[in-house]
Amino acid sequence: MRILKLALALAATFLLLWQLSIPHKAGDKNLPPLGSFFNPFTGFWQNADPAEGFRGKGLDAVLPGLKGKVEVVYDDLLVPHVFATNLEDAVRVQGYVTASQRLWQMDITTRKAAGRLSEVLGPRTLNTDRLARRRGMVFAAENNLLGWQKLPESMRLLEAYTDGINAYIDQLSPADYPIEFKLLDYAPEHWSVLKSSLVIESMAETLASTETDLAATNTLTQYGQPAFDSLYPEWNPKQTPIIPDTGQWKNLHVTLPQVSPPADLLSGVETPDDNLFSDNELNGPDPYLRGSNNWAVSGERTKSGHPILANDPHLMLSLPSIWFQVQIHTPDQSCYGVSLPGVPGIIIGFNDDIAWGVTNVSHDVSDWYKIKWADAGHNTYDLDSEVRPVTTRIEEIGIKGRPSLFDTVRYTVFGPVVYDYDPKSPLRDCALRWISHDMPPPDGMMIFMLLNSGHNYADYKTAIGGFDCPAQNFVFASRSGDIAIQAQGRYPVRGHEQGRFVQDGSHWQNAWQDYIPQDQVPSMKNPSQDFVFSANQPSAAQTYPYYYLGGFDNYRGRRIHERLSALHDATIDSMKTMQLDNFNRRSADALPVMLKLLDRSRLDAEGRQLADEIAGWNYRYDADLLAPTLFETWWDSCYAKTWDEMYALFKTDRAVLFPEAWHTIELLEKDTSNRFFDHPGTPVHETARDIVLESFLSMEAYYHQNPDKKTSWGKAKGFAIKHLAQIDAFSRLDLIVGGHQNSPNAIKKNHGPSWRMIVELGDQVHALGVYPGGQSGNPGSRFYDNLVDTWAKGEYYDLLVMHSAEESPERILGKQTFSPK
């Protein structure tokens, strides 16, 4: 009896312990093992940081490898100010302090880039991982290292940064792990220089992988060349290129390469329909999601007589935020700005002498080549008269709870054959030529370090010359009064329309043969207009002799250009109003045209009232206005009814290239009987007037049926900043903000200004900044999202630039000292 009791008690105990040790599901949610998660000594309660004061635990540290003592002062926004006696020590400590705030973000970002999510998340992320591997993300990251290794200085700094991160990881106990590790039930692993490279590749994937080759090829096949040319004109005459023509290219004579016609995607396919199918990368009407603004105005246009620089890179907004603020102070530099967790140095920032910022260059650096296989097993392919073997790379993808998947990826001279595992993919025989796969110049790693310590225009010019990918418009201003901008990157010299469509990969002449020489990359210094700016629009005027490939409705750029041209006696406040400008140039172009076409006699009383509301509007997408909600619905409907032929294709999952908004407005204005206004299959021939009326009525009907949707723009837009693992509880879903992707304040649903910075140079630098997040990556910290509301209100922080570890005690939270062993 006693033994039976004992057996039962032990069984009950082990059953409980076992149940508390394994993950469970609540509805569709995965719950972590409850025992370790709830244990207040090591579980999530340990992540509940004090609501006041500063978490002092384990602050002072011995850091092997340091050459001298390093002090870190945390200000009231938890920005670390690193005071070191040399750069190597500074980046070592930068690694440590960044990891102490953002370790899980660094882990998950690099796992995603490396195709290693499934190792910790199981089979549900297998496709994501497989695609990351097959696109050659790890291949690219390894090639980065091969390039950087040629400059020992780069590697020394990168290794110091890595060691700093690992020193932090090594002193952690499970209780200290970020809460996401506890929720997802895995442990942090060591950092490596490859991971830093992967962070950069992850940015390249975000910023420099946009291409519409398949969509353009499909659309060309569907409509033929003449229609294609008229639907997708490559140059918007109203646009304001970044570098205008000032005669600088007069003597530049370039012969563009000759290339074959686009590849025939339909050959060798039984039913053409199968071939127009695109499974996982369907681009809607706006494939160019990424955008950013930057500008600099010279002292001629400012009240103080000193240059002012502004930058707001627009990215997917997330918590933890993509940026981490830091100041790095050594005897040679005192630089403040935002860094990318996982990369040493400061990416966007300023010091006492210079300021710089970046926006993305939209030039296409990612092409597809159709391979002509020479054997049935796809191990060899034809290139001109030669038969070449593929090289293979075997990717082992670890999967939690399952055996690894071994995936063989074929590489050709152009790059990896990404989709050959999917017989339905129209790109299954195509190789990806992507600039990110190339080995960077040896100083590629050093460019931000050199900018951080730069003093003048010459330093800026030298620093950015080594930057290849993702190409950026580097805007610059200096205390000595210079302003400049350069569309810096490595760009293939393209033949006319080369890379616009899927190319024929059986001829070497179609490959990228050459790159635009560094001294011919578009750039401008101290122009007579006294300002420089960029908003992702084409880099140079049409007279620039190289072929530019990449669309971008230039509405933000045009608006910024208008405002900068009218700017006098500018102050930091004028720059704020420009960054927060909700004016939408696209709507200002479209609405008068649409109102003119709208036949008001066909509207009922409510319709006329709505039309009045819209007609009286100032084109601002402010959060509390109704008109933008109405107009946006009207415009979207008008666009969709105009291009209904393309939507029909799109709805059958075919990649389609959608015409740009500016071209749509141009047709509404000048070509009202264009055949695309006619709905196929109706007896009457519709014109632009019919489309405008129809779309207005459908807007009205929609709000008649859904009166709750007729609400202010801020509510209608539905803005959210999501946690990186899409955990709602760790997200901010309660924010109501204005803005539109075409207004300078380009806030979209979950995308927008990820860092707003304004810097006025002068005897003393004055800088403001804010980002929608917080310095801590811990949802249990008051610094997790403490900057979000300030950002949402359109307010800024005065950035604290320190010159010694002892100053500004009123804004200091605490200090941390690192000493050598």
Partner 1 sequence: MKNAFFTLLFIFLFGNLCQIGLPWWTLAPIGAIAAFLFPLRTGAGLLAGFCGGFLLWFVAAVLLDRSNQGALSGKVGQLFLGMHGWQLLMLTGVLGGLVAALGVLSGKFTRDVFVGSKPKH
Instruction: Enumerate binding residues for partner 1 (CB under 8 A).
Output: 2-3, 5-6, 9-10, 12-13, 16-17, 20-21, 26, 29, 31, 34-36, 38-51, 173, 175, 179, 183, 727-730, 779-780, 782
**How far apart, in whole angstroms, are the C-alpha atoms of residue 464 and residue 470?**
12
Instruction: Give the HSE-up count for residue 79: Cα atoms under 13 Å, Cβ half-sphere.
Output: 27
Instruction: Give the HSE-up count for residue 647: Cα atoms under 13 Å, Cβ half-sphere.
Output: 12
**Least separation, in Å, of the C-beta of 719 and partner 1?**
19
Distances (CA, A) of 50 to 58, 61, 135, 284, 772: 15, 21, 44, 45, 22
Q: Which residues contact 423 (CB under 8 A, 6 or more apart)?
A: none
**CB nearer partner 1, residue 439 or residue 813:** 813
**Least separation, in Å, of the C-beta of 185 and partner 1?**
13
Which tokens go with 152? Answer: 């020992």
**Least separation, in Å, of the C-beta of 74 and partner 1?**
18
**CB nearer partner 1, residue 573 or residue 734:** 734
**Least separation, in Å, of the C-beta of 810 and partner 1?**
24
**CB nearer partner 1, residue 29 or residue 651:** 29
CB atoms within 10 A of CB 725: 15
Q: Cα torsion for 764, 768, 774, 775, to the nearest 10°?
A: -20
Q: Kindly report the three-state secondary structure assignment for every residue of 371-429.
A: CCECCCCCCEEEECCEEEECEEEEEEEEECCEEEEEEEEEECCCCEECCCCCCCCCCCC
**CB nearer partner 1, residue 22 or residue 256:** 22
**Least separation, in Å, of the C-beta of 7 and partner 1?**
8
Q: Which residues contact 36 (CB under 8 A, 6 or more apart)?
A: 21, 42, 43, 174, 182, 185
Strand 380-383 relative to strand 386-389: parallel, antiparallel, unpaired?
Answer: antiparallel
The label of the residue with tokens 């102490």 reads 100
Instruction: Look at residues 245, 198, 238 and name the one whose alpha carbon lies nearest to residue 543.
Output: 245
**Least separation, in Å, of the C-beta of 29 and partner 1?**
7
Sequence-ordered alpha helix ranges (H) in 483-583: 555-565, 572-579
Instruction: Look at residues 240, 249, 243, 241 and name the one whose alpha carbon lies nearest to residue 543.
Output: 249
The label of the residue with tokens 């001829």 reads 507
Q: What sign does the dihedral 749-325-779-188 (CA atoms) show?
A: positive
**CB nearer partner 1, residue 591 or residue 724:** 724
**Least separation, in Å, of the C-beta of 613 and partner 1?**
38
**CB nearer partner 1, residue 299 or residue 779:** 779
Instruction: Identify whether the C-beta of residue 446 lies closer than 8 Å to the C-beta of residue 466.
Output: yes
Q: List the end-to-end C-alpha distance of the chain, in Å, as a whole number.
A: 62
Instruction: Please tell me what DSSP assigns to residue 515.
Output: B
**Least separation, in Å, of the C-beta of 180 and partner 1?**
12
**How far apart, in whole angstroms, are the C-alpha atoms of residue 697 and residue 676?**
20
**CB nearer partner 1, residue 164 or residue 773:** 773
**CB nearer partner 1, residue 5 or residue 250:** 5
**CB nearer partner 1, residue 45 or residue 277:** 45
Q: Describe the crossing of helices 87-114 and 152-170 by its angle, rounded to 10 degrees.
A: 80
Residue 752 belongs to what H/E stretch?
Answer: strand 751-753
**Least separation, in Å, of the C-beta of 727 and partner 1?**
7
Q: Which residues of 228-242 are buried (b: 16+ CB within 10 A; e: fewer)?
A: beebbebebeebbbb
**Least separation, in Å, of the C-beta of 78 and partner 1?**
15
Q: Describe the crossing of helices 661-670 and 627-642 by its angle, rounded to 10 degrees.
A: 80
**CB nearer partner 1, residue 8 or residue 269:** 8
Residue 240 sits at the vertex; the CA angle it makes with 236 and 243, to the nearest 5 degrees, is 120
**Least separation, in Å, of the C-beta of 35 and partner 1?**
5
**CB nearer partner 1, residue 501 or residue 730:** 730
Which tokens go with 379? Answer: 């191990």
**Least separation, in Å, of the C-beta of 84 and partner 1?**
32
**Least separation, in Å, of the C-beta of 728 and partner 1?**
7
**CB nearer partner 1, residue 321 or residue 554:** 321
In sequence order, what are the beta bridge partners of 313?
292
**Least separation, in Å, of the C-beta of 800 and partner 1?**
25
**CB nearer partner 1, residue 4 or residue 605:** 4
**Least separation, in Å, of the C-beta of 587 and partner 1?**
38
**How far apart, in whole angstroms, are the C-alpha atoms of residue 703 and residue 688?**
23
**CB nearer partner 1, residue 173 or residue 385:** 173
**Least separation, in Å, of the C-beta of 729 and partner 1?**
4
As separate numbers, helices (DSSP H) first and strands (DSSP E) second, the chain gives: 23, 29
The label of the residue with tokens 């998660």 reads 37
Instruction: Look at residues 177, 121, 120, 319 and name the one whose alpha carbon lies nearest to residue 728.
Output: 319
**Least separation, in Å, of the C-beta of 80 and partner 1?**
22
**Least separation, in Å, of the C-beta of 710 and partner 1?**
30
**How far apart, in whole angstroms, are the C-alpha atoms of residue 743 and residue 754?**
15
**CB nearer partner 1, residue 33 or residue 545:** 33
The label of the residue with tokens 């008269």 reads 385
Instruction: Check whether the bond before 470 is cis (ω within 30° of 0).
Output: yes
**CB nearer partner 1, residue 794 or residue 814:** 814
**CB nearer partner 1, residue 30 or residue 712:** 30
**CB nearer partner 1, residue 34 or residue 649:** 34
Sequence-ordered alpha helix ranges (H) in 171-249: 179-184, 193-207, 213-231
